[in-house]
Chain A
Amino acid sequence: AQSVTQPDIHITVSEGASLELRCNYSYGATPYLFWYVQSPGQGLQLLLKYFSGDTLVQGIKGFEAEFKRSQSSFNLRKPSVHWSDAAEYFCAVGAGLTGGGNKLTFGTGTQLKVEL
């Protein structure tokens, strides 16, 4: 069975600073990987996804993530954080032949706080 680990429960960064959120996955086949963001009391918004091809994936709001098979990682990065980026971030892995359409397994999330 697949699993996702987000080692950092909370992260605090200053506005304008760079950001990296860690995600490690466990899955026997080629993974389908996702990053979602959740604001308080809201649903999840898709930031970016990796299915195949270029291992550096660009997403919305200036986010990017890099798939590293050797490290089983899919870390999320942003070069300059804005105060509006404060939210909960979830990494997820999709299983099955049609990855994202089948079950998603989520990590426990990383709460990002941005200091002004």
Chain B
Amino acid sequence: ETGVTQTPRHLVMGMTNKKSLKCEQHLGHNAMYWYKQSAKKPLELMFVYSLEERVENNSVPSRFSPECPNSSHLFLHLHTLQPEDSALYLCASSQDLEDRGLYNEQFFGPGTRLTVL
């Protein structure tokens, strides 16, 4: 596997379910990100991790819980979601949080299409 992978690619869950999204990067990067993309809206940054430490939480509801056990893996645990949480969830990684040389280029995974019923 190369680049950034995400599983599952599609997920349908009820509002009372608990599920987890997984992201893995094979690039040796130190920073990882979770984004949410709703239809016709900009990508919304949810969480940022640098060297396994959460450095940013963009006012995300507690029903979304991230976990970064090591610099290659990032999880998003989902619990009691709402239908409006249905969206494409994208994971990304970058070399470092502030990599001036690469203009903060982030590499994205293919995303998980989440539907909450």
A binds B: no
